Amino acid sequence: MKPLIAPSILSADFARLGEDVSAVLDAGADIIHFDVMDNHFVPNLTIGPMICKSLRDFGIQAPIDVHLMVEPVDNIIPDFAGAGANYITFHPEASRHVHRTIGMIHDNGCKAGLVFNPATPLDWLEHVLEDLDIILLMSVNPGFGGQKFIDSSLSKLETVRKLIDQSGKEIRLEIDGGVKVDNIKNIAAAGADTFVAGSAIFGSLDYSATIAKMKAEIKAARTGS
Ligand code: DX5
Ligand code: ZN
C-alpha cells in the first residue's frame, strides 16, 4: 500500500491554520491528521467539527484523518462526517459498543479505524479486524505532541502487520507519536504504512525537506537499502 505522510495539526499554527495546512500539503503531505481531545478521555482540549468544516471551506481537499480522543464517541461521528472527515478513528475504551461505533462510521460514509494505546491489548481485533479500514497504534500516550516514541510499539506494529496480511484485506496500519526523520525507517520496516508526525514536521523550518527525507527513509526501508 502506498505510504502516506499524515502531519498532525496539533503542532500547526492555529492562528493561521488554513494556510499552515495548505503549506504542509504543498510540501508533499498526503493526508491531514486531526486530533480531537476532550479533557476527559485524554488530558487536553483541542478542536472539533467546526474547525474541520472551516478547513474544507478554506479549500483543503486532501483526506482528513480524524483521531477521536473523546468519550463518549458515537454522537460526534455524524458531526465529523458532515464536516468533511474521511477517516474516523476511535479508542475502543471510549465506546460501550465498539462494533456499533464502527458501523456508525461506515453508515456516515467514512473509513473506520480503531486506535490502540501503548498498553491496550490487541484482543479487540479478534472480532472486528475485517470491519476496519485502518488500525492506528499509538507510540506515545495520547494527549500531547512532542513526546518520545515508545520502542515497544515496533513489535506491536509487527504483530498487527502479520494480522493484516493474514486477513488479506486492504487495511492501513498507522503509527502516531514521536515519529521523526531518524526513526521512521525502523517504523516502516516494522510494517507501518501511514505515518503521523506533528512536531517533526510543523516544528521544522522546511516542511518540504522534512517530508522528502521521511519519504526517502520509508523507501529505503521498503527496498532494504
Ligand atoms: C497525541 C496525538 C498525536 C500527536 C503526535 O495524542 O494523537 O497525533 O500530535 O505528535 P508528535 O508527532 O509530535 O509526537
Ligand atoms: Zn493523533
Q: Whose CA is nearest to atom 7 of ligand 1?
A: 142
Q: How is the beta sheet containing 172-176 ordered, strand by strand?
A: 4-7, 194-197, 172-176, 134-138, 111-116, 87-90, 64-69, 32-37
Neighbours of ion ligand 2 (CB under 5 A): 35, 67, 176
- Provide residues with CB under 6 Å of ligand 1: 8, 10-11, 33, 35, 67, 140, 142-143, 145-147, 176-179, 196-200
At the fourth CATH level, the homologous superfamily of domain 4-223 is Aldolase class I (3.20.20.70)
Q: Which atom of ligand 1 is nearest to the CA of 198?
A: 12
Q: What is the reported pLDDT for 225?
A: 81
Q: Whose CA is nearest to atom 10 of ligand 1?
A: 145
Provide the phi-psi class of 78: left if phi over 0, else alpha when psi is between -120 and 50, else beta: alpha
The gap between the terminal CA atoms of the chain, to the nearest Å, is 19
Is the C-alpha dihedral spanning 141, 143, 148, 154 positive or negative?
positive
CA of 225 to the centre of ligand 2 (A): 29
Give the separation between CA 23 and CA 162, rounded to whole angstroms. 35
Weakly modelled stretches of the chain, pLDDT under 70: none
The dihedrals phi and psi of 195, each to the nearest 5 degrees, come to: -120, 110
Give the separation between CA 112 and CA 132, rounded to whole angstroms. 6
User: How do residues 193-214 score in pLDDT, each as one tens digit?
Assistant: 999 999 999 999 999 999 999 9
Quick one: cell of 101?
Answer: 461505533
CA of 30 to the centre of ligand 1 (A): 17
CA of 136 to the centre of ligand 2 (A): 9
Q: What is the residue extent of each domain of the chain?
A: 4-223
CA of 135 to the centre of ligand 1 (A): 16
Task: Just list the catalytic residues.
Answer: 35, 176
β-partners of residue 174 are 136, 194
Which residue from 115, 196, 202, 204 has its CB within 8 A of the most atoms of ligand 1, so it is best to mutate?
A: 196
